[in-house]
Amino acid sequence: MSLSNLSTITFVRCLGCGRESLLTSQALPLCLDCIRSNFPRVLPYIERAHQAAREPCDLPPKPLRDEGGKQCNICVNECLIGLGRKGYCGLRQNKGGRLIGANAEKGNVSWYYDLLPTNCVADWVCPGGTGAGYPDFAYRDGPEYSYKNLAVFYQACSFDCLFCQNWQYRLSAGREATLSASLLADQVDEKTACVCYFGGDPTPQLPHALRASRLALERNRGRILRICWETNGSMHPSLLRQAAELSLRSGGCIKFDLKAWSEELSIALCGVTNRRTLENFELLAHYTRERPSPPFLIASTLLIPGYIDKWEVSKIASFIASLNPEIPYSLLAFHPQFLMGDLPTTSRRLADECLGTAKEAGLGNVRIGNLHLLRDY
Ligand code: SF4
Ligand code: SF4
């Protein structure tokens, strides 16, 4: 399988039940019913799909469980890495019994500036996009024109999403980590109002991002500098707590991608369980009442046709509402990408149904993002 699978939309037969559908991807030739209700039987197909996605980039097909290996605890994968082998994210290697690769000092990362207001998952509620929290946490009482965001792109991930919207990071996941946390912190200039860590995902390199954030805040004491994260939420809770503290006091936010509710579907789409993500989201929800404005925690779900349906969204929305109904929730229209380039974009009907169900679940702040991608048929 090539890394880019932008073939035309076509009927694909489910390997579980034999049904054909336009909403089944060649990269994961299984229907939603078989994934959710016949998981043990279709698991070998799921594993094969992820192996095929990872092989071209020399990434391990599964989290490592090497007997006697070195343990990495940074994310949910908890890799046990044997001599000469590397972890699931491709960043950490066991060399001579020592874990080497990206660490708090050196990161495999690139960065750029984005003028505010920028196309951020939280731009509809955050200080950069709306002025929420002005004057303590925003420079303007409205969108922060003339300021910018430092966008920090970590080149590795703890998940293996077959629909990844930034899949090119995989080509660099094995690259040597060279950017120091200090040099990254230096990129915050007087017009930088916020830093956003994303990727890939910041999770496997969270120690580096935490150090860079602390240095940047120290060097810019006395002025607004928000620390924000966009993540799959799979990190160790002790690292998450540190990230949360930095965002809380700086006026920043944590954007959690709740990709699926069903664990089986998460494993099918992303190669990894979503249990840690949901537990971590609950942990963060406890902080939301400490700083209601600007919102500290924002949830999002990509509406992948054929795989994320109204049921998934309804369960996610009820979960969020049970924690705090004021947490903003963004439902994002899908752009066909990476190995799921053979799916259509999200239909307006699915988006409207999901919006309705999220509101019925009790959420007070829901919206559909990427409206221009919605299709009318
Ligand atoms: S960060 Fe996660 S995926 Fe990477 S080596 Fe550590 S436990 Fe494995
Ligand atoms: S990085 Fe944070 S403050 Fe800046 S635009 Fe994104 S969510 Fe808003």
SS3 state of residue 50: helix
Look at residue 64 and tell me if it is in a domain. Answer: no
Q: Cα–Cα distances in Å, from 282 out to 6, 287, 324, 349?
A: 36, 9, 10, 30
Q: Does the pLDDT at position 3 exceed 90?
A: no
Average pLDDT over residues 332-339: 95
Give pLDDT tens digits for 38-47: 999 999 999 9
For the chain, what percent of residues have pLDDT higher than 90? 93
Provide the residue range defining the domain that includes 322: 106-373
| Contact call for residues 61 and 46 (beta carbons, < 8 A) | no
| Contact call for residues 41 and 33 (beta carbons, < 8 A) | no
Rounded distance between C-alpha atoms, residue 346 and residue 369, angstroms:
11
Ligand 1 atom 1, closest CA: 204
pTM of the model: 0.95
Give pLDDT tens digits for 148-167: 999 999 999 999 999 999 99
Rounded distance between C-alpha atoms, residue 240 and residue 282, angstroms:
12
Ligand 1 atom 4, closest CA: 89
CATH number at residue 211: 3.20.20.70
47 Cβ neighbours under 8 A, 6+ residues apart:
61, 62
pLDDT for 2? 53
Look at residue 299 and tell me if it is in a domain. Answer: yes
Q: Does the pLDDT at position 6 exceed 80?
A: no
| Contact call for residues 257 and 163 (beta carbons, < 8 A) | no
Query: Which of 92, 94, 159, 240 should be mutated for ligand 1, with most atoms under 8 A from CB?
Result: 92
pLDDT for 43? 98
Look at residue 88 and tell me if it is in a domain. Answer: no
Ligand 2 atom 6, closest CA: 120
Give pLDDT tens digits for 177-228: 899 999 999 999 999 999 999 999 999 999 999 999 999 999 999 999 999 9
126 CA closest ligand 2 atom index: 8
Ligand of minimum distance to the alpha carbon of 173: 1
Number of separate domains in the chain: 1
CA of 23 to the centre of ligand 1 (A): 32
The strand pairing partners of 12, in sequence order, are 21
Look at residue 279 and tell me if it is in a domain. Answer: yes
Instruction: Work out whether the CA dihedral 322, 230, 119, 333 comes out positive or negative.
Output: negative
Contacts 24+ apart (CB under 8 A), 265-268: 265/32, 265/35, 265/36, 265/307, 265/308, 265/312, 267/43, 267/46, 268/28, 268/30, 268/35, 268/42, 268/46, 268/49, 268/307
CA of 152 to the centre of ligand 1 (A): 19
5 Cβ neighbours under 8 A, 6+ residues apart:
26, 27, 338, 339, 340, 341, 342
Give pLDDT tens digits for 280-324: 999 999 999 999 999 999 999 999 999 999 999 999 999 999 999
Average pLDDT over residues 116-143: 97
pLDDT band for position 171 (50/70/90)?
confident
What are φ and ψ of residue 101, in 5° steps? 120, -160
Ligand 2 atom 5, closest CA: 128
pLDDT band for position 4 (50/70/90)?
low
Ligand 2 contact via 370 beta carbon (within 6 Å): no
Look at residue 89 and tell me if it is in a domain. Answer: no
Look at residue 13 and tell me if it is in a domain. Answer: no
Rounded distance between C-alpha atoms, residue 58 and residue 374, angstroms:
35
For the chain, what percent of residues have pLDDT higher than 70? 98
CA of 78 to the centre of ligand 2 (A): 30
Look at residue 25 and tell me if it is in a domain. Answer: no
Rounded distance between C-alpha atoms, residue 316 and residue 190, angstroms:
39
Ligand 2 contact via 123 beta carbon (within 6 Å): yes
Rounded distance between C-alpha atoms, residue 327 and residue 33, angstroms:
30
Look at residue 75 and tell me if it is in a domain. Answer: no
